[in-house]
A and B are shown apart, each in its own frame.
Chain A
Amino acid sequence: KQEVTQIPAALSVPEGENLVLNCSFTDSAIYNLQWFRQDPGKGLTSLLLIQSSQREQTSGRLNASLDKSSGRSTLYIAASQPGDSATYLCALISSGSARQLTFGSGTQLTVLP
């Protein structure tokens, strides 16, 4: 059974800092991996999707990497801003017949002005 872990559960950084959020998974047979942002009490906003054959994806100040062999993905946020404060969730679809997203518990990020 696929398990997804995100460490740390919470992170607080000063504005302007570059930071890395971590996601690890137990089964490397994945179809794709997504990073989402969730504001308090709200739905999920997709940030980046990495296909199994890709190593990284970039969008603006965000860069996500994928290393299937080690079961890890990272989300790099450059020059953090207070508006980046949210919970960041990593989720993946495993290969095979199952098509559901398996989520980690998220990292709650606070960027201090």
Chain B
Amino acid sequence: ETGVTQSPTHLIKTRGQQVTLRCSSQSGHNTVSWYQQALGQGPQFIFQYYREEENGRGNFPPRFSGLQFPNYSSELNVNALELDDSALYLCASSTDAWETQYFGPGTRLLVL
């Protein structure tokens, strides 16, 4: 069984640019959640997608947006990058919005 995968593993962007991060959910999982983890902090919830619909959103501005596809993979898009967007971005999938979330290895984003 394939676990949650994320791409790319590392990314360097400059301030003002746009970035797209990708996540493939675990087989049989229909829910994907995205988290931002700054250095030395716990992950912060960005949003969740359930069956291609946004199912909850944390305290992040609209320049953070997402998509979930029919195969339940997902994208996180961030526009107008700021220095503070530098973080580890984690994707998690689950069989339902309330169930155990299984995390991918993350994408490390550095904004210069």
Residues from chain B with Cβ under 8 Å of A103 in the complex: 35, 42-44
Residues from chain A with Cβ under 8 Å of B102 in the complex: 46
In the assembled complex, how far is the CB of residue A29 from the closest CB belonging to chain B, in whole angstroms? 14
Residues from chain A with Cβ under 8 Å of B56 in the complex: 97-100
> What's the Cα separation between A67 and B105 when bound, in Å?
31
Stretch of B12-20, B68-76, B78-86, B93-101 at the chain-chain interface: B93-101
Please give me the residue from chain A that is nearest to B47 by CB atom. Answer: A100
User: Could you tell me if A101 and B33 are in contact, using CB atoms closer than 8 angstroms?
Assistant: yes
For B, the interface residue count at a CB cutoff of 8 angstroms equals: 27
User: Could you tell me if A44 and B103 are in contact, using CB atoms closer than 8 angstroms?
Assistant: yes
Binding site for B on A (CB under 8 A): 4, 31-32, 34, 36, 41-46, 49, 89, 91, 93, 97-106
26 contacts between A and B (CB under 8 A): A34-B100, A41-B88, A42-B106, A43-B90, A43-B106, A44-B43, A44-B92, A45-B103, A46-B100, A46-B101, A89-B42, A91-B42, A91-B43, A97-B56, A98-B56, A99-B56, A100-B45, A100-B48, A100-B56, A100-B58, A101-B33, A101-B92, A102-B45, A103-B35, A103-B43, A104-B42
Binding site for A on B (CB under 8 A): 4, 6, 33, 35, 40-45, 48, 55-56, 58, 88, 90, 92, 97-98, 100-106, 108
